[in-house]
Structure 1
């Protein structure tokens, strides 16, 4: 449970005992917490509408009845989180609404289309959430420009008209000010209000009274909060007597000043809104998103919304006319002025890499939720989130005081070891520039040079890289108004005095350059990086070379240059294979390149077609180098393979992950379609033969006689290696229809599935292994319904997909087959773990954890690494205790 939740629970618990309220100090003493932290959290509870504050000495707090509080974050607070550049504007608005007794009148400034009307609507919703206005209170909007050419009619609309006051006034008319009584009146384009109207309004704002046009004797009163908006300079277009009555002036920044992440959040919001209007999901290509992120949107948020609506309308029309089978937006469908955003300068492409995974082809927006998660987006998986989670875990277990501090310090130490070990020795600072803004990167490089000079050291490459990523994360966190707390600050300062002093100077450099305030706690983290430069941190690096071989004069080298340039590396090489050159010459050229470069590491060959697919085996025959080969190469394959090699993945891991890129070419594999498509897919065993499909059918007969399976669920599909289509093209088409269990054939294919040879099939040696695969898949199918029914916080079928990958990864690494009862146990356990973490529940401690990990370290490493994709996909962090429980399933005594 989070600290703020503990405080709220305590407030509710003692409400009857202290009906007049309780002070922050008393709460702090009750919970053994810092008074300052408690005070901050209490004020946040008040801001969120979960508590009320009674001013006095001391200030007292009372919890609001639980049934009157929504568990969701306030609408305006959600807006602030998604739009950090408007944080100050939101805080000003909140202060204006809560100001006693009836709030402050507000003037909104900003260019056309920045969202002033939307912001006014948010203010109204916040007033209702905070019980300043009732749920049925009116919110009246009026654009003064609509009647600017007829001042008398304009004033009549606002203040009302008395019958006979002017020619045509045949009856009494109620004005908008009267209709807005008890609520809010929003006057847009207020600079079009004539001087007479401004004078009438400042009288109302002073005394709360007004007259209809034509009334001279009686006065009317109303309780109305006035929100005004203008695109002009108020000092030149409004009377000073008018503006003096509006103490709260809020400026809304233009779209170009709001940052690309905020623009992405706006795009996502508008896409989801359009999905709600259409009642269907909207599929948007990554290139379309990039175009919307970077095109010149002169009329700000309003134009962005309109352009997105037009794109959605066109996609919907294509869907209704059956030109497309789903509502789908591709960049080619966008107007030229939007598509031009794709060709912006390199700085924009670097930010795209930060926001959008290069391996995503489409994003799916749904009226209920955004179904697509950006796995490499905001880079929030850092030490701050780890500390928040770990502190809550320990407190939930009743650990506090010195014991809590000791546990947290140990966790920080462990985190830094892992954090630094995660960086490849091959990376350099240019890689960071692909994901970090230029101004932030400039100060990071300045800080690294400063630290080296002050301490008289040369920072290790992985320390520099890790420090740069960390500083970028910390700046981003401060910009998003999140706190930085270092529980180990005191001991770091004592143990690393020189490094801490340099780190404090580094903070000043950040503050000077970025114009933000960095807390002293951050100096502790920077000092740890600097002190780690002296330590011998265990480092393991898989070294895999990527070699592209493709037909054409410059095809391979051009692709390699593009990949190396995008990722800031030189790990990928290209060898061109001109059409007229004999394959044996290309092979000789490849072997000569390996010798010249003195390559001893594993090699992943990415080739396009033909005899090039055999080069890997030839290289293995004449050297001790392990190779893998992937045919049908594309730039996307090369990017993924290179990225994984930079991260230190093994050859087999890179091979599997790169093969997964193939699925990106099939529009039907998007997550939103997964449940429907996968339920329709049957399982298949594919038999391959070179002598014609008759031979493959013979193998099919042998399998059917030796295996037990449900033919309604599993089908044996024969294909011929020789035919009009490449065998891999046929396999890809089969994957659209089937989930392939394994392949059976006379030779090894470059596919990411188990394979068995014809000899083993005929001899019957592998029947047991294939039967195990069949039994496992049938077991998974039977478990779908159970997981769908029992899991509360995650989708059962999607979780099952993740667990299947986890099981396959671990068993392949261990080179073992697991019994079906063990498989069931792992799957159910893992599903419950994910569901429990999503609910916020904590894992029970594993007794003897440290010794168990120490004695089974290889198994620990395999299971922990296999959990990494699950951690990313579900935004959780599987603890070492849970890792140990999972390890017991794979213990050699159980398998």
Structure 2
């Protein structure tokens, strides 16, 4: 039964968790994830999961934006705690509040970023002091403002409480000596207590903080503001464990208190020598500047995650912003960094609301100028390390609870989703570089290479050598081993999107399958079918690395005595290569002489290489024609010189082995990003707006609006149109849609509105889905964009119409399917359609395409769940003989679906598909006369 399969998926998801996982970050599985795993409709899964909850078989976790579920049986098994049916919680950790964990698992210091790095020595000292046999040693914490001394003191108390140093009811009492620095009597009264009449206004006897913290810890912040008489009274307490209340002469009080004090000043200049001598433990807390770049990256991501929880939204941070924040050295350290991050979110949140955007993007211009200056002050070594460390263009942070301040267990997650073959190879290369950078560090790496990893590394190394005759590098085998280990430990099966799976040669796919079978048998590691294609692309990366050299030569040509040389030197030094070649063009030098020097340099490059030249202005802009006539190379002149563009192109050409077409495409995209940043910056100063916008809308759901948005963006990107914004709107209220259009269209030129319902905004042209599918909607759309090539290009028009037809068809399939997810079926069915068209050398009409998609999807569900199948009869066999070509094409291309879904498709099913095809008069005529 379906409900049993769902319970099995929940059980399998939870089986990997141990008690410490629940204490840290185990959070169950969502309905969406279950539906994806079983290829079922989410509403069906949701109904069954709620039945399981009512029966007491699962725990409902309500702390995030979506409900998640956890196996109640597994929870009881590993915790020993039996729960009532229909148990709910915000987080699983809540259900463990009355359970005692082991020392290692609950070490409060591990909640601090840098506990195993910059804070390691400080933590060792603190633990030694708190566990001292004669009682906790009094401690002085030194450090700049905002480094986290108060938090560190709290962790000392938590550690001591856990190990029995303090009484069960002992308290952590905090007092800031600066609060009463100008009133010594009041300060001492708070600290030691006072009797009635001890000073003017002392109307009653008042106990002090020493009394309140008896059996616990007293944290004195800014202790350098404590007056000399207060310091003398404290060191008497340290010596005797006794003190007098303010105003007392003979009576003494006893207290067992651990003192932890903190100061931002030099203690030798601000504290009495006799007082300092009585503090045996002095601990220095490192500043933000003294922390490693990796720790600063963790700190930035953690602080953004805390704010994401406040605003209940994901936060997307671009690479430049991350770089600036990591290199930022605020005087207020972590405290000021937190405030600067809040400011960037406030600015970005306002921009998101004004623009009606669905995601919160943190861009460099939202940072304060103090933060941005970090990019200017960085040295070359830091820049190199940043380039190795920040391997993505954007970083997405999800809402995160306040504790613990630790990073995810998998430090080297390999996230490759919905991406092309070239991107998956790029991602793996970046993944390799990140692990290689960690392996090359002097200090121990942040992960532990255990025996199992070593076995996987050795096995992969030997298998690839034996089966592919490639000797891969240690860093590559290590990276692949960690990728596979992440699959096992965290079920992160990164995979290549189905529509691109045929791009990787079949030879590599077969090698990947063979390697996976060997790994599964030897290491008990399960890898999904999607993972086969990911692994195939990675194996191809090894092959290309072993035999190919860079096939692109790159030049920078610029006016001035040293501009080109400086740019080339910066790129080469940042990437630790000697690759980019410079050609300076002094203004005093003859142009023809410069060209001759450049040709001489080009002719030294291998003949098979493509030549890419970044040039700046003037006569250099027309250089391409001259060079093509004089040199026997494929030469491309890019009419711009920008360090960022050259850096990105050189990295991808040299390290990623990108072909020329990909390099040019990425240069175009990067240049667009640079131009948009420049445009945004200038417009903010001059107040001019001339942006163009197209709205795609749907009245309910978000399918129509978003696939129209996707196709329009793809189409305009291919045509080099980057100045038109596409905004998808989805709402069940036309009034709300009109309101959003009114707000977001200010200072913009609205070209048109496209969708499945007219919002009634009559000042802007509306194009309906029906017009696109059945009328002249596409032509009207292209006319509004103003691109003549679009308007007159029938191939582009038909391609856009077909894409919309396909998505409308798959959107309608969910109405007919009971179990399967149309999104999962779409790649299989479209592969079948494309194969059929190639085999028959034709293009199906949109009507036939829609019927074929719906029929094939329903056929797969019928056969997969054994609902019924058409029985074969004698007439069918005779008919199929008369349609031999069609029958062969259909049978051949249905094999992919049959294999992927493990079903048998009989001849009767082929008969009905052929009937659909023959009802297409154009196709039938084509078959007859071909």
Q: TM-score w.r.t. structure 1 length? A: 0.49
Structure number with bigger Rg? 2
Q: TM-score w.r.t. structure 2 length? A: 0.47
